[in-house]
Amino acid sequence: MGSSGSVYEEIHDVREDLRADCGSCFGLCCVALPFAASRDFAADKAAGEACGNLREDFSCGIHARLRDEGYPGCTVFDCFGAGQKVSQVTFAGRSWREAPETAPAMNAVFPVMRQLHELMWYVREALTLAAARPVHAELRAALASVEELTLGPADVVAAVDVAAVRGGAGPLLLRASELARAAAVPGRRKDHRGADLMGRALRGADLRGASLRGALLVAADLRGADLRSADVTGADMRDARLAGADLTGALFLTQAQVNAARGDGATRLPRGVRRPAHWA
C-alpha cells in the first residue's frame, strides 16, 4: 500500500463505547482527580473533592466557558468512556451523592478504569489495521483480558496492576505499529521515539510513517507537516502547532492529544478524531 492510502480496514468505528458520555457519568473526572492552580486550572482541587463548578446534576456550570474561566485543562481531558463504565456498570447507576459511603471506592476505581479504557482504545485501533493481521489473534486475546478486568467489582479493579497489563499488550501494539507503518510507507522511516522535540521547528517536515511514540512535541511547529501514518502513541502534543498539517491515518492519535494541540480548518485528521471547537 502506498503512502497516500489508508492503513485502516474499511469498517465502522469499533470504539464508540470508549468515548466519554458525560450524561451517563457522576462527574467523576470533576471529583476523583486532583488539579493544581496553573495555566491549565484556575484553582487547586484535591483528589476526592468535588470541583466547585460541578452542579447537582453532575454537569459543569461553566462548560461553555471553561477556557475563558481559566480551565483549559478540562477541555483536553478524555476518560475514554471510563466515567460511564464506573458510574453505570461498576456502581450500577447509584451515585456517590445517593450513597456517600461509595465515594472513596468510586474515586479509587476511576483513575484505574481510565487507564484500562485507554489501553483498550489502542488495542481496538490496532485490530483495525489491515497490515497488523499477523498479531490480531494475540491482540484479541489481550483485549478480552483487559475487558474482563474492567467488569470486575470495585475493589478488584482498583487493585489492578496497570503497568503489568500494559506490559503484556505493549509489545503487540508496537508490532502492529511497525507492520502498519511499513505497509503504508515502505523503506526508511524516521525514528523519534521518546525524542525531546519541544518547540522544535518542524514546519513542512516529512514525518510519514515516523515513530513519535512518547515524543515531547510541546509547542513544536508542525505547520504543514506530513504526519500520515506516523505513530504518535503517548506523544505530548500540548500547544503543538498543527495548522495545515496532515495527520491522515496517524496511528494511535487520541482526542485528548488533538484537543491539546493548536490546529485549524486545514488540519487533516484521522477517521474518528473530531476537530476541536476551539481550533481557529
Dihedral angle, C-alpha 36, 41, 45, 49, nearest 10 °: -140
Band (pLDDT 50/70/90 cuts) for residue 271 is confident
Q: Which CATH number fits domain 188-280: 2.60.120.10, 2.160.20.80, 2.60.40.3880, 2.60.120.650?
A: 2.160.20.80
Q: What is the pTM of this model?
A: 0.91
The candidate with the shortest Cα–Cα distance to 1, out of 210, 186, 190, is 186
Question: Domain residues of the chain, as ranges?
Answer: 16-183, 188-280
The candidate with the shortest Cα–Cα distance to 143, out of 17, 273, 12, 237, is 17
Residue type, 140: R
What pLDDT is attached to residue 12? 40
> Which tens digit of pLDDT belongs to each residue from 19-35?
999 999 999 999 999 99
CB 217 within 8 A of CB 196: no
> Which tens digit of pLDDT belongs to each residue from 99-122?
999 999 999 999 999 999 999 999
245/96 Cα distance (integer angstroms): 43
User: Torsions phi, psi of 54, nearest 5?
Assistant: -80, 125
> Which tens digit of pLDDT belongs to each residue from 237-262?
999 999 999 999 999 999 999 999 99
